[in-house]
Amino acid sequence: MTTVAGLLEQAAARLATDLGLAKREARLEARVLAAHAWAVTPAWLIAHDTDALPTEQAAAFDALLARRLAGEPVAYLTGSREFFGRPFVVTPDVLIPRHDTELLVERALAQIPPGRPTTVLDLGTGSGCVAITLALERPQARVTAVDRSPAALAVAQRNAALLGADVEFLTSDWFEALAFRRFDCIVGNPPYVAAGDPHLSRGDVRFEPAAALASGPDGLDDLRHLIEAARDHLVPGGLLLLEHGYDQAPAVRALLSAHGYPRSRSWTDLAGIERVSGAEVSE
């Protein structure tokens, strides 16, 4: 009979071979999947590593492992991903929150003064991770979040309820449902991958909603639209902050200038990549 440690070792070896994961990552994934399959904590796995496993439990783990080996993202299998230190429910209806996007949140927080009733709009909220984090970090801010996918909004609403965040959610194709409303700060992580980018056919992204990833031949279709349309939804002096692809910062700054936003700038992530660009509209 297999022990917990034995099963985890076999699983890690298969994850490393089949998915090309580094050994360390493979071992971590094996533990995450086992903890989920058996509804135990990672600490339990260590404390029980020499336990023999009942067949039923081994089978539950095998089923989950098979799905992972077929490429399904860990976050969709466990239904959860951490963002800015909080757990978010994720389903295949939403993009899996990425560490990169924490830069967008950090930049927005730097601009949203605590204790003042700033209005914030999050475009294409998906899991809600950006809007909900901003609402929780800045309780005085009034945060509105839109997404055109009702299924995504249902996930975002669930996350807001679970984390106790007060966010107004609206089904809207970008600004469509917002009529003449204006905000102090507009943030967004729109789709920005070029259609046909080989990146779309590799790894986790194959299982994520295409509409949340790809955006026209150069990946800039949605960014172009948002930069143009956001002007009519910002108060004078309001700030637009957008996440974009690793090589799109110059193009995004050029779009901002072309649409009359003075002094656009970009911010780098921990890897030194310009990941977020933004500008204030004139007073």
Residue 96 DSSP code: P
Give the phi and the psi of residue 234 in degrees, each rounded to 5. Answer: -110, 140
Cβ-in-10-Å burial (0-12, 13-18, 19+) of 159 comes to buried
Contact (CB, 8 A) for 172 and 148:
yes
- Closest of 96, 66, 103, 65 to residue 80, by C-alpha: 96
Give the pairing of strands 119-123 and 183-188.
Answer: parallel
Among the residue ranges 102-110, 148-156, 184-192, 232-240, the one whose residues contact ligand GLN (CB under 6 A)? 184-192
Tell me: does residue 248 bind ligand GLN (CB under 6 A): no
> Please, which residue, 121 or 193, has the CB nearer to ligand GLN?
193
Give every CB contact of residue 21 below 8 A, 6+ residues apart in sequence. 15, 29
The DSSP symbol for 12 reads H
- What does the per-residue mask of binding to ligand GLN show for 198-237, with x meaning CB under 6 A? -------x-------x------------------------
Note whether 192 binds ligand GLN by CB under 6 A: yes
Give the range of 10-18, 61-69, 112-120, 191-199 binding ligand GLN by CB under 6 A.
191-199
149 sits near ligand GLN (criterion: CB under 6 A):
no
In the complex with ligand GLN, the residue whose CB is nearer, 137 or 204, is 204
Find the binding residues for ligand GLN in span 158-177 (CB under 6 A). none
Q: How many residues bind ligand GLN (CB under 6 A)?
A: 9
Report the interface residues with ligand GLN, using CB under 6 A.
98, 100, 189-193, 205, 213
